[in-house]
Amino acid sequence: MLVLVYMKLIIRISITAIALLIVSKLAIGIEIDGLYPALVTALILGFLNTIIKPILVILTLPVTIISLGLFIFVINASLFYFASTFIDGFSVAGFWSALVGSILVSVISTLGNKFIK
């Protein structure tokens, strides 16, 4: 049973890494040097989205409510850009590239993760 949990985690990280590689080919301003930086970026983004994102959502709740939830996109883009600042082999040109990239990675990862039970 525990092995299945780890297998699902590895598959989800792999799907996110593949999504990052696809987005680096589609979106202007996002570059990934290879598979290893994509896997590291997927791990770091997973950590940031699990630990840091809920804290940021709670801290910015009034702004999120006023913007009818659109500020969540800003939080996602900021975490995406933040990850690019300290991962070698992963670079994002600016905020708008991070916004488009984070949306595309989210969509591709969600579609890929639907096939995992």
What are the tens digits of pLDDT across the range 39-97? Answer: 999 999 999 999 999 999 999 999 999 999 999 999 999 999 999 999 999 999 999 99
Q: How far is CA 106 from CA 1, 63, 80, 98, 100, in A?
A: 28, 22, 11, 12, 10
Token readout for 6 is 């780890």
What is the pTM (predicted TM-score) of this model? Answer: 0.91
Average pLDDT over residues 21-48: 94
Token readout for 30 is 């996002």
Q: Write out the DSSP string of 48-110.
A: IIIIIHHHHHHHTHHHHHHTTTTHHHHHHHHHHHHHHHH-TTEEE-SHHHHHHHHHHHHHHHH
